[in-house]
């Protein structure tokens, strides 16, 4: 089972990557850096919250896991 701290770090690094990608894509569409960045940040914040919840739920599901041999 993964620790909450590990899940938070994974979520943060994933969202930082997402901010970069969404900012670039949004800039192509809007032509404005600030608008593109704000769109990326709002998407990132909601993505962070839902990714964290998703990971916490999946950490409780044992389906597909293999147990370590002692």
| Domain annotation covers residue 65 | no
- Tell me the pLDDT tens digit for each residue of 16-29: 898 999 999 999 99
Instruction: Kindly state the average pLDDT of the residues 32-45.
Output: 92
User: What is the token pair recorded at 9?
Assistant: 């770090």
Tell me what percent of the residues of the chain surpass a pLDDT of 70. 99
Question: What's residue 70's pLDDT?
Answer: 66
Query: Which candidate, 41, 14, 16, places its Cα nearest to that of 26?
Result: 41
Its domain, for residue 50, covers: 4-58
CA 42 to chain centre: 12
| Domain annotation covers residue 68 | no
| Domain annotation covers residue 66 | no
- Between 65 and 37, residue with greater pLDDT: 37
Please state the pTM of the whole predicted model.
0.60
Number of folded domains that form the chain: 1
């Amino acid at each position: 089972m993964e620790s909450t701290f590990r899940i938070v770090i994974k979520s943060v690094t994933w969202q930082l990557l997402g901010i970069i990608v969404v900012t670039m894509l949004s800039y192509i569409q809007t032509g404005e850096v600030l608008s593109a960045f704000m769109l990326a940040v709002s998407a990132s914040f909601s993505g962070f919250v839902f990714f964290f919840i998703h990971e916490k739920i999946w950490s409780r599901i044992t389906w597909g896991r293999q147990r370590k041999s002692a």
